[in-house]
Every structure is written in structure tokens, then in C-alpha cells.
Amino acid sequence: MIESVCVFCGSRPGRSVAYAQLARDTGRSIARRGWRLVYGGGDIGLMGILATAVLEAGGEVIGILPRRLLDREVAKGGISELVVTATMFERKERMISGADAFLVLPGGFGTLDELLEVVTLRQLGYHDKPIVLVDVDGFWQPCLALFDRLIGEGFADPSTRRLWSVADGAEKAFALLDAAHARGRGGDWRAREDSNL
Ligand code: AMP
């Protein structure tokens, strides 16, 4: 079952207003389900919009921010818990271990790094939590095309396609998470006991 959702998304708002709308819808949908948001802890870009939406809808927010980025990413006030880490690596590990599922919204290199981290860790069996790419306006299509290329060229197994799901918006993304939540009753998709995470 899902209690916490980790959302990776841009520290900038992006050009299209569709991205901000997606961040707001995502935040509201998390809060409405009584799930906890785990995210990077900043108050900038889509990250800030997302956390504000969860808080305004009465939800719980855990922000995880490295000490060095407290000013740069503007540590968000008023959240339920702000975890300050020593390093970026520790931040990522705590975001990953503290959530039951991952949503990946549009973003920049940091978001891409986080996406690849959870995909590769799942590929290696360190966790078995759902990963949903939220593909508004086809944002993730070039990345998915590259994934196809890796597989087509023999650098990854075709079965790796099962490591992630793609949703064309918040509604579909939460339908996928609701299904995972239902399957999780008695299921074994949570972090495996023998994993490092
Ligand atoms: P971006 O998508 O580049 O706007 O960044 C989104 C978030 O990812 C920000 O909170 C960044 O600090 C974070 N980030 C950037 N690089 C990394 C990294 N190597 N590992 C983990 N998080 C990162």
C-alpha cells in the first residue's frame, strides 16, 4: 500500500503553464488520498508549486534538502518536516527510501538524474516501487525514445520497459498509483528486506 509518494520535478517552472498546473494537480491528488509528499524541500519552480498545493489541501510534506542548498533552493517554510542532509547523495537516498512510489514530472538535469537513479536501482533489485513518468505535452517522449534505443541496441533487456509506467497527465498517473496501492495489499512491491534502501 502507498503512504508516501516521492515526486521528482523541476526547480524551475518551465515555459509552459501546463507544467505548473500539473504540479498543482499532483499536490492536490496526493493530499486528497491522505498520502505524504516526499520531495527535495525547495520553494522554487515546480517543486515549490507542488509542495504549496499539498499544504493548501491539508496534506503532509516532508522536504529533504542538503545543507549547501538551503539558500539556493529556498528551504520551504511551513512544511511538516524539513530534513537537512550533509550531502546530495544522502538526500537522494532518503527521498528514495522514504517513499512507496515515485512520480516524475517535467524537470531539468536534477530530475533526470533522480529518474535514472530509481530506474537503475529497480533494475538491480534494490527496490520494487512503482515509477510513473508524467508525460504532459509529450515532455518525456525524447527520453523514452532514448530508452528504446538503449534496448534496441542491446544495452538493456526489453524487460526493463516494465520498470516504469507512462501517464499522459495527473489523472492517469494517479489511476496507476491507485491500482498499485490496491495491489499492494498483501503484495510485495515495497522495498525488499534485503535491499540497501
Ligand atoms: P532540476 O530538475 O535540475 O531543476 O533539479 C530538480 C531537483 O533535483 C533540485 O532539487 C536539484 O537540487 C536536484 N538535483 C540536482 N542534481 C542532482 C543530483 N545529482 N542528485 C540528486 N538531486 C539532484
- Enumerate domains of the chain plus CATH numbers: 4-183 (3.40.50.450)
pTM recorded for the entire structure: 0.93
Ligand 1 atom 8: residue of nearest CA: 110
Separation CA 10–CA 42 (nearest Å): 10
Extract the C-alpha cell encoding 113.
538524474
Going by pLDDT thresholds of 50, 70 and 90, the confidence category of residue 184 is: confident
Taking alpha carbons only, the member of 72, 27, 64 closest to residue 46 is 27
| pLDDT (mean) for 56-79 | 94
Q: Ligand 1 centroid to 177 CA: how many Å?
A: 24
Q: Does residue 196 have a pLDDT over 50?
A: no
Separation CA 67–CA 153 (nearest Å): 41
| pLDDT (mean) for 116-126 | 97
Ligand 1 atom 15: residue of nearest CA: 110
Q: Identify residue 140 by its one-letter amino acid code.
A: W
Mean pLDDT of the chain: 93
Please identify, by atom number, the ligand 1 atom nearest to the C-alpha of residue 41. Answer: 10
Ligand 1 atom 23: residue of nearest CA: 110
Which DSSP letter does residue 159 get? G
pLDDT at 11: 98
Taking alpha carbons only, the member of 41, 48, 49 closest to residue 20 is 49
Pocket of ligand 1 (CB under 6 A): 10-12, 40, 42, 69, 73, 88, 92, 107-111, 113-114
| pLDDT (mean) for 155-159 | 97
